[in-house]
Structure 1
Amino acid sequence: MGGRDVFLPVAAQPSVDALVDQAKRGEELGYDRAWLPETWGRSATVVLTSVAEHTDEIGIGTSIVPVYSRSPALIGMTAATLQEVSGGRMRLGLGPSGPAVIENWHGVDFGNPLKRTRETLDVVKQVLSGEVVEYDGEYFDLSGFRLRQGPPEPVPSVDAAAMGPKAVELAGRFADGWHALMLTREGLNERTEDLARGAELAGKDPDDVRTTLSLTCCALEDGDQARDLVRQHLAFYLGGMGTYYRDNLARQGHEELAHGVYDAWNDGRREEATAMIDDDLLDAMAVGGTPERARDLLAEFESLDPVDAVSVSFPRAASVEEIVSTMEALAPGA
């Protein structure tokens, strides 16, 4: 079995302390790493600093920090600093996020996400090397500076989140790892071919590019409630987060369903949109049910050849108690 990580909740939590407590519980339960996304709530880097100070062994990481909200140099500086405060437990995950967040929250043109991500990866890796950064790109032009304190020890790995063919190829070519999300089993296998092609273009062994699969999971004694929460989560992303996730599912052979969920959600028919996520699709891209059923489903994802680690993530509407129950039910060795 590969690694098993925990993806701290994407939805708003009661406090920073609550997120720290969840990371501490993850460490107690034996999870390998605690990932934290950054959306339109708390700063991931500030929260991870607190997590680092209150834990001893569990890895930490951003999954993801958007490439539009900070300069590449600042992303590199931040990763180096988190590596220092965590005693070498940091892994950086970055990616474009999506146009809904970037344009409507950050007020920045989404532009060319592939090029922006590529250049950010290039600059961040130069920054983390400790050498003088010299870069002449379409978006970024840097010269003459390097980290004052020298490179972090060890230099943290840099992953890229990606869903589409070209984006996944880019991750394989320029990043140390790939964060896969909102993919069916079949979609994961298709994109793994893109990852391998990118790695080979860079002269790397594809097996050296770490694949972390983010899975929305809910394991409760009330299995129907668990599945309802997962279903609602998938419907929200397909319908409520612009066209990004809709198009990703359509690309995987579910075009009619993806557009149906999107249209119903945006017409205000949200219960109808949620009901369109049938059991087959739910089980193809997420984990929900009683603890026993959820453990079996999770094991099926972990057994897939491309997967090096599964990141146990939670539905956006799950309560703190439901999150903790799921963490405990799906903990390594449970």
Structure 2
Amino acid sequence: MYNPSQTYTRNIECIMKKVMHILPIILCILCIACKETTSKVIEKKESTRATALDSMDLAHSKSVWRAGDNITNAYVYDSLLYLDANIKKDHRIYGYAQPDTLSKRLFLLSVFTNDVQNNPFNLDLGAYYELEENTQLRIKYQNHNEHFVETIATDSLGEKTTLYFEKKWVDLEDQNNSLDDELREFGRIEKVEDGSYPFFIVTAKFISSKANVHFNLNIEAIPMNIEELNSLVGDYATIYYTSTLENNLQDLHVSGTSLFGTHTPAYDENWLQITGVLQGAATITSGDIPSTISIVSEDGTTLNFKLFIDEDTVKANGKTVNAFYNINAVNTITNIVPVAK
């Protein structure tokens, strides 16, 4: 006997069997479609990111190019590579795996925040604003040719990597030997001040100590003219110099009265003092260079001082005087060698 309920049940079972056979195929198709969509999204994101990095790379390169000479170079001191960042000047220096700008980029020194922050270019050795003594990555100079400087980079774990930098971005340390009585330091020329020609006062910031040091310079004693000297401000150079201790006369008294008149400085309890006979002050100083006077004490001690002798000092010559003085280090430049460009 025909039973509609049984027939309906059999039809449902038949349909379900067909669906169960088809369902894996549908799921497989959906999965493939989903993967393709996800892959396309990822590819699009990667493409967008790469385009953004390329645009940033180009924009920063153009900025450095437009800056011309107003840039900060890296420099070599004691065989190590350094760079002191200056926010007012651009710098963007890549380290390459080979002496070829088309080879893999491994390292970057840049003044631009979005070049450095989070290492957006995924450089193996990272991106830095500057290189200082306390930077974990140490880069040591090895050699150079006309176009590239070869270095060895050592990270905090002692791993070594060869890096090549374009030579135009690196100032090389002067390798000349100084004379036995000369000192040598490498630093940046901060200021050049005119004195009485041919004398100048040069201020330099030493890389080793980070200290500003003042030097006396006779421009006629070095192979450089005034224009060349002034052009060194802001640049690095090797400075050869002598350093001597010199008595600096602060005040000179005869019978308790200062010979310096209104130019007498305020008394300083740290001043040294000598009492003795004034010698070498027989004539008034002519010209812009101070004369040398001597004071000889009763025990035979003789101290020499630089002084512009005037009429009152001439009158005191041969008399007993009290001299108040301190002792200063006097640094005198014997040569300046700018870094090789």
TM-score, L = length of structure 2:
0.23
Tell me which structure has the larger Cα radius of gyration: 2
Identify the structure with bigger relative contact order (alpha carbons < 8 Å, sequence gap 6+): 1
